[in-house]
Structure 1
Amino acid sequence: MSENSRRCILSGDKDARDGLIRLALGPDGMVAPDVRARAPGRGAWIGVDRAALDAANAKGKLKGALARAFKSGAVDAPADLGARIEDALRQDALNRLGLEARSGKLLTGSEKIEAAARSGQVRLLMHASDAGTDGNRKLDQAWRVGSGREGSAERGMVLPASRTILSLALGRENVVHIALTDRAAAERVAQAVSRWREFIGSEAEAEPCAKDAQGPSALNAHDGDGMGEDKGFEISR
């Protein structure tokens, strides 16, 4: 196993650290999510989704795997560990979006996103869970045109968060669509969001798409209601 890879204690599969979720052991013997992998001491890693984790926890399989990982029989997992991990991953992703917004590397507002997308400046496109289908489709098409993939089925990702949640996270009004115009920022956001989505069982996955560009900073969004359709997202390079 390489220095940057870890093995899931439930499935036995290996993956990069960034693709797994670390669990830390508290002084009381309870495990807790350590999604930033910063807690001291030995850690246990999981790469399964919440449904699989909850099932393993209910059947006692998780406790046995944790005891082996921490080399201690005095280890336990709270019954709501899956919910705690989901909440931690959600908060980590929203915090990352907020940081990128404050650094000026994130766009909101349909008109500004569409202009940046058509000129090839958008590297990652995302929509709120309650964004309108027509608004999503319009920006998806602009992104495909700017990325040189017109005619493909590629589209932005629908986040598992409403415009209200995104607006609070970014400190802006009515955030319906989000675009990242900086490559490194897009990769940071994609990594945080991907772990969140994969854990809750989302089917969308990130794929690279070749395109270099840089873009402007952000302002506000203004779009209609409705539910967007979640099909996937790519990072434009």
Structure 2
Amino acid sequence: MRTPPNERLTSDIAEATLPATSGSERRCILSGDNAPRDMLVRLAISPDGLVLPDVAGKAPGRGAWIGISRAALETAVTDGHLKRALMRAFKGAHLTIPEDLPARIETALARHLGDRLGLELRSGNIVLGSARIEEQARAGRLAALLHASDSSEDGRRKLDQAWRVGREVEGSGERGQVLPLDRNALSVALGRDNVVHLGVAGHSGDMRAAARVLQAVSRLSRYVAGGISPGSAADMMDNSGRDTPGHSDRPQAGRSAQDEYVKD
């Protein structure tokens, strides 16, 4: 499945566009683990040496890739591990690492997800309103079901049940994805009031929109909650809501070693 386009580096954070997918892998400079590049976060340096998140992986020059959680990155910043790893990756170039780099990365990933949802809404792929979501879910027309982080358990349970009916997986315990964004963030991203739940349409088996959205959800969720371990939007679609709402922790088989930094 194709993954979404991403964004271009600015002096602060990446601004979302629609990127092309790359199936290549990169190695995290901090953990040494390999993963598909669209599950990692690329760091690039501005002309004055400032280290910035390049969520789209499009900034020119050499880049370094990380795939750990925000909490682990904060520790790496504090103990100097990140600085040492970046010095190796960027061949001793003069670097300035912002103290708030972990927060900047989260902001960039959240903006990317919000922009992705906005793009899919304009393309007619987002279903809003609990009644309409339930109707479309029962009819089997939703490829993904998403809930705000501050949505109620009762509201999620009702829509999850309708979604299982439409997917013909009653009794499986599958649930929609609980997003790392609250209703306020979703409302701003979609330009609507009080967005608590949303569905991603999957007409006639076309799962491309859901794959694009779930890839952005997965990358942010893993960074915020537990590290960006190898996986893909396909993993999330195959394991929607099982065990841990929001993502699947199954490792991807057949990983090959790749350089942790490349000029691309």
Q: Which TM class, normalised by the smaller chain length?
A: 0.7 to 0.9
Aligned to 2:219: 195
RMSD over equivalenced CA pairs, Å: 2.1
Looking at structure 1, the residues matched to 217 and 125 of structure 2 have their Cα atoms a distance apart, in angstroms, of: 16
Letter paired with 1:35: V
For residues 58-85 of structure 1, the C-alpha deviation after alignment (integer angstroms, 9 at most, x for no partner) is 0011001001111124123111110010
Moved more, 66-75 or 80-89: 66-75
Looking at structure 1, the residues matched to 174 and 244 of structure 2 have their Cα atoms a distance apart, in angstroms, of: 8
Instruction: Please state how far the C-alpha of 1:152 moved relative to its aligned partner.
Output: 1.4
Aligned to 1:186: 210
Alignment equivalent of 2:245, drawn from 206, 228, 232: 232
Contact 1:154 1:233 in 2 (8 A): no
Looking at structure 1, the residues matched to 100 and 89 of structure 2 have their Cα atoms a distance apart, in angstroms, of: 20
Aligned to 2:135: 115
1:180 and 1:86, CA in 2 relative to 1: closer, same or farther beyond 3 A?
same
Q: Indicate yes or no: 2:86 matched with 1:62.
A: no
Looking at structure 2, the residues matched to 72 and 49 of structure 1 have their Cα atoms a distance apart, in angstroms, of: 25
For residues 71-109 of structure 1, the C-alpha deviation after alignment (integer angstroms, 9 at most, x for no partner) is 124123111110010010000000000110111110011
Aligned to 1:170: 190
Aligned to 2:118: 98
Looking at structure 2, the residues matched to 102 and 202 of structure 1 have their Cα atoms a distance apart, in angstroms, of: 31
Q: Indicate yes or no: 2:43 matched with 1:14.
A: no
Alignment equivalent of 1:207, drawn from 236, 240, 245: 236
1:234 and 1:53, CA in 2 relative to 1: closer, same or farther beyond 3 A?
closer
Q: TM-score under structure 2 normalisation?
A: 0.76
Unpaired runs of 5+ residues, structure 1, are 211-229
Contact 1:129 1:161 in 2 (8 A): yes
Matched pairs, number? 214
Looking at structure 1, the residues matched to 61 and 139 of structure 2 have their Cα atoms a distance apart, in angstroms, of: 48
Instruction: Please state how far the C-alpha of 1:231 moved relative to its aligned partner.
Output: 3.9
Identity of aligned residues (%): 54
1:74 and 1:234, CA in 2 relative to 1: closer, same or farther beyond 3 A?
closer
Looking at structure 1, the residues matched to 139 and 246 of structure 2 have their Cα atoms a distance apart, in angstroms, of: 18
Instruction: Please state how far the C-alpha of 1:208 moved relative to its aligned partner.
Output: 3.0
Q: Indicate yes or no: 2:165 matched with 1:145.
A: yes
Contact 1:125 1:233 in 2 (8 A): no
Letter paired with 2:69: D
Unpaired runs of 5+ residues, structure 2, are 1-21, 249-264
1:94 and 1:3, CA in 2 relative to 1: closer, same or farther beyond 3 A?
closer
Q: TM-score under structure 1 normalisation?
A: 0.85
Alignment equivalent of 2:178, drawn from 154, 158, 161: 158
Letter paired with 2:223: F
Instruction: Please state how far the C-alpha of 1:168 moved relative to its aligned partner.
Output: 1.3
